[in-house]
Structure 1
Amino acid sequence: MKYLLIAFFLLLFYVPLLAQHNQLKGTWYSADQEIMVIEDTSGRLENLMQRGEDFSNLVVTKKAISFRRQYYSSRTNYNVLYTDKFDFKILNCNDSVLTVMPVSDFSKKFFLNRGTIRFVKKQYWISKDLKVGKVFFHSSECFGSCPLIDIEIDPDRTVKYKLGGFATEAAKSGHFIGKMPDSTYQFFLLLLQNCQLETLRWNSVQCCDGVVVTLIFYFNKERKYLKSMLPSVITNDMLDFFYTIESKVVFKRTDEKFYMEE
């Protein structure tokens, strides 16, 4: 009987906590494009916060979240392991909304002394009445094996694709055209709806030897231009869509030379 009571109380404690852990998993956005990406609550995998910073582990209780950043420093000859704790009090958590309050010095500074922050899970953050026109994507060469990629997606689902650069084999480079399946195009529109397109912004860093990505959107009679070597984490899924476009559209090589807005 004693062991049954212990098991019962353990279930009362762990089952709600497990349910909360599952609710926390996912990508969360605030209205100010503050980001939490919680992929693992066991403390074994990396998670992300805001600008894509990596955190080695995550500690979750019923009332708090703590991101941990661990590192060694030359100040102590790399002999001491330091841990910075980014602690948040959970004010509300369900399948779609997470409201937290930064409570440690690191978390308060990281979120610019915001009192409370309300996050919405990515799949529930949908921009309504989004009328999308042409979309352009450009990915530059880099100091390495990065191909030069240019893509245009039109509202009639026509896709123009240019592949080139010194890192691309001559047989694979050229101009291509295809028609995107309707189901794939609807998925693409959903990616646009999920990335806060109306207020989306990127860090404008374009230095160094990395790939510089350019996105141009026409929507709701507006034009949005983004260009950066460090795009927002919010657009990761969309960028993956562009980089894997050959698996989504059947292309035919064409002699037509495309001009794509840059």
Structure 2
Amino acid sequence: MTNKSKYIYPLISLLLLFLLSNGCAVEKKIEFQDLKGSWINSMNDYFQIQDTSSKFGNSNYVGHYGNVVNIYLELYGDTLSFQNSYYSSETNFEKLYVEKFDFKILSLSDTFLTIKPISEHSKKLFEYRDTIKLIKQIYAVDTSIHFEKIKFHTTHCYGHCPIYHLEIDSSGNVRLHREMAYHEIKEGKYEVDSTAIGYYQGKLDQNTLSELVSAIQTCNLNTLEFDGADCCDGSIQTIIIYYNGRRKFLQSMFPPRMANRLIMKLLEISEKKDLKKIDEKFQIEK
């Protein structure tokens, strides 16, 4: 064997091994669990992925600039298929129509998701953009937002919606007026909880305050808008937030999903049991 052959054969063997191993490599299977959560970007695109079990539930959302569709979701290999099913009076409610918003998953990590619209409905919804790059909402932190004070109001509805007036400052000091409160006396049946109605004050623990700040910094606050809707019989939710020396007013019966995390945290604080009930009455800015 020549010296030249001595080097060529091992190189050929390594090359064959590389080609064989790559040819036989199996791509990592995309698991639904890895996709669960809310995904957003600076263009206010919003994807909420929760389950694949309910064909007519409201667990999954996909939209752009508030144009969010409430739909069923299936995962086919590397394709996300959001499906909007409905019946129409044009066919006497006998034919089921299915609109498919399909997206090919190009890349996925714990933090980032890149997808490509591949069905006509998804292309149209996202204005024929080639790709959509998203970040999991809990990681989309805008540290330039310096929260000073937030005020939160809910109104009555046709049902048993509590009426809250809440104020929290950057130190975690809380003032709360529970104008109306209910408790469940048996499954699906509520009555007024007169003991919970009244004025309260307290201070958030550091963990809860940090969670509130996180919710404020991950909702695209600078571009967040509510549509002012008050058309129907739901509770109107109002947020007045002071940050970075400015005041922002948001109000709607149907707030955008982008604000869900913040609203859920404000409702949670409004229902805290460790706030102190006081005799002093006060008004919170509306």
TM range (shorter): 0.7 to 0.9
Residues 1:30 and 2:61 are matched in the alignment: no
Identify the residue that residue 255 of structure 1 maps to in structure 2: 279
Q: Equivalent residue for 1:94?
A: 109
**Aligned equivalent of 1:107:** 122
Matches within 5 A, 1:218-237: 218-237=242-261
SS at match of 2:200: strand
Distance 1:71 1:182 in 2: 46
Match of 1:3 in 2: none
State the SS of the aligned residue for 2:29: helix
Partner residue of 2:28 out of 16, 21, 31: 16
* Secondary structure in 2 matching 1:199: coil
Structure 2 residue 62 is the aligned partner of structure 1 residue 49: yes
Letter in 1 for 2:116: M
User: Which of 97, 100, 113 is 1:82 aligned to?
Assistant: 97
Unpaired stretches in structure 1, ≥5 consecutive residues: 1-10
- Cα displacement string for residues 156-197 of structure 1 (whole angstroms, at most 9, x for unaligned residues): 211001011497444321111111111211111111112112
Aligned sequence identity (%): 33
Equivalent position to 1:58, from 58, 70, 74:
74
Q: How far apart, CA to CA, are the structure 1 residues paired with 2:271 and 2:181?
A: 22
Alpha-carbon distance change, 26 to 166 in structure 1, aligned in 2, over 3 angstroms: closer
Structure 2 residue 228 is matched with structure 1 residue 216? no
Q: Is the deviation greater in 223-232 or in 122-131?
A: 122-131
Q: For residues 7-65 of structure 1, what are the alpha-carbon distances to aligned partners after superposition, in whole Å with 9 as ceiling and x for unaligned?
A: xxxx965x71244x333222100212111111235787742112442212323322x32
Supply the distance in 2 between the matched residues of 1:90 and 1:245 (Cα, whole angstroms).
37
Match in the other structure for 1:189:
213
Structure 1 or 2, whichever has the larger Rg, is 2
Task: Give, as a single letter, the amino acid of the residue that structure 1 aligns with 2:60.
Answer: N
Q: Which letter maps to 2:73?
A: N
Secondary structure, in 3 states, of the residue corresponding to 1:178? strand
Structure-2-length-normalised TM-score: 0.78
Q: CA RMSD in A?
A: 2.4
SS of the aligned residue for 1:244 comes to helix
**Alpha-carbon distance between aligned partners in 1 of 2:237 and 2:146, rounded to the nearest angstrom:** 23
2:231 paired with 1:207? yes
Which residue does the alignment assign to 1:136? 151
What is the alpha-carbon distance in structure 1 between the residues aligned to residue 50 and residue 99 of structure 2? 20
Go from structure 1 to structure 2 and tell me whether the alpha carbon gap of 1:94 and 1:41 turns closer, same or farther (over 3 Å shift).
farther
Query: What is the rounded CA distance, in whole Å, between the counterparts of 2:234 and 2:271 in structure 1?
Result: 24
Amino acid at match of 1:209: D
Q: Distance in 2 between matches of 1:237 and 1:248?
A: 17
Per the alignment, do residues 66 and 164 of structure 1 end up closer, same or farther by CA in structure 2, a change over 3 Å counting? Answer: same
Aligned to 2:263: 239
Partner of 1:151: 166
Superposed displacement of residue 248, structure 1 = 4.0
Contact 2:181 2:197 survives alignment (8 Å): no
SS at match of 1:123: helix
Q: Which residue of structure 2 aligns with residue 7 of structure 1?
A: none
Partner SS state of residue 61, structure 2 = strand
Q: Which is further off, 76-85 or 36-45?
A: 36-45
CA offsets 1:59-84 (integer angstroms, 9 cap, x no match): 3322x322112222222233222211
Aligned equivalents of 2:54, 2:284: Cα separation in 1 = 45
